[in-house]
Amino acid sequence: MGSVKDLEVIKKSTPDAMGIGRFLFSDRYSVFDWGEMPDRIGGKGAALCLMGAYCFEQLEKKGVKTHYKGLVDLNGKAIKVNALKQPSSVMEVGLVNVYKPKTNSVNGKINHDYSIYSSKIKNCLIPLEIIYRNGLPEGSSVFKRLEQGKITFKDLGLDHYPKPGEQLSQPIFDVSTKLEETDRYVTWKEAQKIADLTDQELIDIKAVLLKSDETITEMASKAGLKNEDGKIELAFDENRELIVVDVLGTLDECRFTYEGVHVSKEIARQFYKKTSWYEDLEKAKKEAEAKGIQDWKLLCKSQPPKLDLKLKTIISEMYMAAANEMSGRNLFNAAKLAEVIIKYRAYLKE
């Protein structure tokens, strides 16, 4: 299904009814839209599964609909987090239809046709990533977009040019495409047009995003983490009512910090930003955009290297420790997150 998890279809969805599926979370990881990287991070899949399941359950307590049905135990049954006896990397969910936009190149520019979406369509993924930002830590894509002139600080609702590490008095809501070759930031007006959303649906989407943000913030605080930013994905069910889908509240979907230290996939991103592969990747993306080429990876001159072995072990411990503490279940044999952070700080000084 993707670079990090696979999908097992138990019952197919139809235009009018949800199906049933199971996410199989792997120890794979992905950065910069590259897809599967050359390593595996031990325990990562089951840790993501636990974090996501716990977040879904907390959201549902607040009245937010989701496609989550439970974690699959050794007997093949979908159960809740509090009934789990050991980590599971399998989550049972309801399935909706995914309609990808038609893509073509016009005058050297990639064009995406979203005409399949209408205000009458239901039981389908909304082709957007919905993003909240409570802070702007180092590494936030906001700074890159500001530098490139793609947005202004006023576009973000700010009254000044932000600095890395800045905390926001009110969350910023952002949106990007989901089903294109590279996630593309768009305005809310463009997003509404892409998915053919009514004004009320747009209001409802932002309300669900705010509740998700608040829920993740509460969950993260249990582990001493600050919820800097994150994303959710939404769908319409059989009645065209909003439901939260995919997974949320994990170290892959969110950017968390612990006393200023990144505790998320950002650690791997920072490692790769110092490699020559990252320079090749950025050049390839720019060239593909200029020439209207869809698969920018074909233009990348190198392949990503493996993670440093010591760093890979630290990241593994970080995922498992965070899952234990955010969920309140000590299911992984891992050190406390505070101890892992000490180890990571020492690694950065080497």
| Global confidence as pTM | 0.90
Whether residue 108 is predicted with pLDDT greater than 80 in this model: the reply is no
Look at residue 140 and tell me whether its pLDDT is greater than 90: no
Average pLDDT of the residues in 104-112? 79
Give the model confidence (pLDDT) of 4-62 as tens digits.
Answer: 899 999 999 999 899 999 999 999 999 998 989 999 999 999 999 999 999 999 999 99
Cα separation, 46 vs 52, whole angstroms: 10
Nearest Cα residue to 270 out of 148, 135, 139:
139
How many domains would you assign to the chain?
1
Mean pLDDT calculated for residue range 166-187: 90
pLDDT score recorded for residue 240: 96
pLDDT tens sequence across 316-345: 999 999 999 999 999 999 999 999 999 999
Give residue 1's pLDDT. Answer: 61
Domain span holding position 295: 5-349
- Mean pLDDT of the chain, nearest integer: 93
For residue 170, give the nearest of 136, 122, 204, 119 by alpha carbon: 136
Report whether 27 contacts 40 (CB < 8 A). Answer: yes
* Residue 111 confidence (pLDDT): 87
Q: What is the pLDDT of residues 19-33, one digit of tens each?
A: 999 999 999 999 998
Residue 109 has pLDDT above 80, yes or no: no
Please give the helix or strand (H or E) that residue 236 lies within, else none. strand 226-236
pLDDT for 4: 87
* pLDDT tier for residue 194 given thresholds of 50, 70 and 90: very high
Percent of the chain with pLDDT strictly greater than 90: 81
CATH number of the domain that 91 lies in?
3.30.470.20
> Cα-atom radius of gyration of the chain, to the nearest Å?
20
pLDDT of residue 80: 97
Specify the higher pLDDT residue, 216 or 107: 216
The answer to whether 97 and 13 have CB atoms below 8 angstroms apart is yes
